[in-house]
């Protein structure tokens, strides 16, 4: 099975219009991983590079069954992370969730 994990659905993406957190995005990877099928996971999409890097690191850890610390260690690209040096970020607060429970259960 091939799973394409485009990061343009993450909150704060420059081109995407969704509000997904890393935990939400990663939950999809975990869900498919639990099927126990051979799995090839590909990156793609994502136009806010600091969050793309966070996403791929987090989802690689999920694939390997590892936990990552929320504090990103000092590295050569630390300044590219902006003012927040945490792995996880909160979703945008000004976006309304238009997915009702009924609609999600229907699909």
What is the pTM (predicted TM-score) of this model?
0.85
Residues 73 and 66: their CA atoms lie apart, in Å, by 16
* pLDDT band of 21, cuts 50, 70, 90: very high
Residues 61 and 30: their CA atoms lie apart, in Å, by 10
* pLDDT band of 26, cuts 50, 70, 90: very high
- Asked if residue 99 has pLDDT above 90, the reply is no
User: CA quadruple 12, 14, 18, 24: dihedral positive or negative?
Assistant: negative
pLDDT, tens digit, 9 for 90 and up, residues 49-83: 899 999 999 999 999 999 999 999 999 988 888 88
């Amino acid at each position: 099975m091939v799973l394409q994990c485009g990061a343009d659905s993450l909150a704060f993406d420059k081109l995407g219009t969704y509000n997904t957190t890393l935990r939400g995005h990663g939950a999809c990877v975990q869900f498919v991983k639990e099927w126990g099928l051979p799995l090839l996971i590909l990156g793609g999409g994502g136009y806010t590079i600091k969050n793309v890097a966070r996403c791929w690191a987090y989802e690689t850890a999920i694939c390997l069954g590892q936990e990552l610390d929320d504090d990103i260690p000092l590295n050569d690209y630390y300044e590219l992370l902006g003012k927040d040096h945490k792995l996880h970020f909160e979703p945008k607060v000004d976006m309304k969730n238009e997915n009702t429970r009924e609609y999600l259960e229907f699909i």
